[in-house]
Amino acid sequence: MYFPAYRPRRLRRTEALRGMIREVEVNAKDFIYPLFVVPGAGVRKEISSMPGVFQLSQENLVKEAAAAHELGVPAVILFGIPEEKDAVGSHAHRADGVVQRAIEALKRELPSLVVITDVCLCEYTDHGHCGIIVRGDVDNDATLKVLAQEALSHARAGADMVAPSDMMDGRVGAIRHALDEHHFQNVPIMAYSAKYASGFYGPFREAAESTPQFGDRRSYQMDPGNGIEAIRETRLDIEEGADIVMVKPALSYLDIISAVHAEFDLPVAAYNVSGEYSLVKAAAAKGWVDGDRVMMEILTSIKRAGADLILTYHAKEAAALLRSC
């Protein structure tokens, strides 16, 4: 069927017609809202490179999570900045750690909110790497034991889901084994299965205070040039017990999201990361783009690529915008 018999513009004439044939729509229930929790009280410190994103003490964290949840956002993911850091990230698995206490507060105040926790060591180590350093390099297998302890401490505090983000080999299996052994077999694992060594993480490192003090993370995060490896990494995580698989970052890796969605039948999450967020905010502040419109276009592209869940710092404002439409 060709022009003039077929005219695609007929179905684009009005908003109602466009809405009727829209293939993909973003919904607040798609979002997972990343939040940064710090010790103390009365803290609401804005991240200079991420306007609208804050380090929050526990009571302000609960308020921020409640505001997002009221707008329909079903889940948050917590990143903790501890009072003290050391070489082995020992504050990561303390029962009275900053994340563990935040989990308890959120589950007490907002029982219907899904609380997911980041399982990694970079926020807790004084060297800023995601694992235990031995002879100048991250020791994969020594790190697994600490990650399993960390995930277990989150489950004990009441976390609904844990999300290992470190990219160590075998960490999903080690965490699954630890959770099952201690009767947390119903706690799902959302694995950062295809996490790339990306320049888009810069603002996050300010927020999480996790900049590596030497070298970089390219020996354990993926090379941006690799696509087939993403499928292999994802398959390994699924075989080890992942319940949800993730691609990170999202916007420059839409092809990877699409490939993972096509290859596997598990839910796929995508992380709309800090650098992607900050680019939109900076351009909007300059008046170079319509921030709201670009935000929604980006989120729609991530969902169209195949993501079922989107971790995004835009979660609250996007949910508010969707509600106002």
Positions marked active-site: 195, 248
What is the enclosing helix (H) or strand (E) of 55? strand 50-56
Three-class SS of residue 140?
helix
Nearest of 269, 89, 278 to residue 202 by alpha carbon: 278
Q: How far apart are the first and last CA of the chain?
A: 35
At 186, the amino acid letter reads: N
Name the phi and psi angles at 278, rounded to 5.
-65, -35
Q: How far is CA 86 from the centre of its chain?
A: 24
Please compute, for residue 100, the number of CA atoms within 13 A of its CA located in the half-sphere on the CB side.
17
- What is the distance between the alpha carbons of residues 75 and 319, in angstroms, rounded to a whole number? 12
Question: Using CA of residue 111, residue 116, residue 119, residue 120, what is the dihedral sign?
Answer: negative
What does the alpha-carbon distance between residue 38 and residue 36 come to, in Å, rounded to a whole number? 7
- Is residue 66 exposed (0-12), middle (13-18) or buried (19+ Cβ within 10 Å)? middle
Phi, psi (deg, nearest 5) at residue 234: -65, -40
Cα–Cα dist 10/21, whole Å:
12
Name the CA dihedral angle for 9, 15, 19, 21, rounded to a multiple of 10 degrees.
-10
